[in-house]
A = this chain, B = another copy of it.
Amino acid sequence: MVDPVKTEDATAAARLQAVLEQALLSGQWEEGGKLPTERALSLEYGVARNTLRRALDGLERLGLIERHVGRGTFRSAARPPAAMEEEALSPAAVMECRLILEPELIALAVTRTTPADLARMDECLRGTDDASGLLEFEHWDAALHDAFALATHNAAVLSMSRSLARVRERTDWGQLKARGDTPRHRGTLQEQHHAMVEAVRRRDRDRARQTMRAHILFIQSYMMGE
């Protein structure tokens, strides 16, 4: 049913993107250094140039690489949070907003969750567990938080939560997300995800709120601080 290694059903481009993500984050090329040409990479990984380019498109959106016509493709220089104080939908503002909303949101969800809600959460947990690339992980991560909002069975809360989700999509995360995407960090995130769902399942309101708060603080810390 569910293959834990699951790289089968993803598209070739998505799978290749996950591979390249790992290569970039593990220092395969140095910061600011030039990657091989598209033709060389497509040959090396055994895919068509079109397919490779879709993978690069994803990496570019994550801010992991930069591409220049006539020059080549380069690994982005790791720039720290940079210019954070001035907010116009800064990552810091979004995280702060999540911190004041989501712990209370999940606390409300605890008192309302139905078996169907729990099933939806479990599905999201499987998604985050099996995710290969950062893109896929984030998809299921967002779905899980939406599942918590759904479990409040409150249309106003859901509307507000989704409004925040849309704001998140318009935020310039730069490399902040990718920087934290190490096996160790992702392991911690998954533990927290499981702990939150477990707290909801056991109707432990305080634990759910506490775990959510710790979860968001953890993300904050490795994004901003290091």
Contacting A160 at CB < 8 Å: which of B87, B97, B107, B108? B97
Contacting A100 at CB < 8 Å: which of B89, B101, B155? B101
Measured CA separation A87–B153 after assembly (Å):
9
Distance (Å) between the CB of A91 and the closest chain B CB?
10
Docked-complex contact B108 and A155, CB < 8 angstroms: no
Distance (Å) between the CB of A162 and the closest chain B CB?
8
Measured CA separation A155–B107 after assembly (Å):
24
- Given contacts A87-B154, A156-B167, A100 and B108 within 8 Å (CB-CB): yes
Residues in B neighbouring A108, C-beta threshold 8 A:
96, 100
Contacting A156 at CB < 8 Å: which of B107, B153, B155, B164? B164
- Given contacts A100-B105, A101-B100, A160 and B156 within 8 Å (CB-CB): no
Residues in B neighbouring A135, C-beta threshold 8 A:
none
Docked-complex contact A157 and B97, CB < 8 angstroms: yes
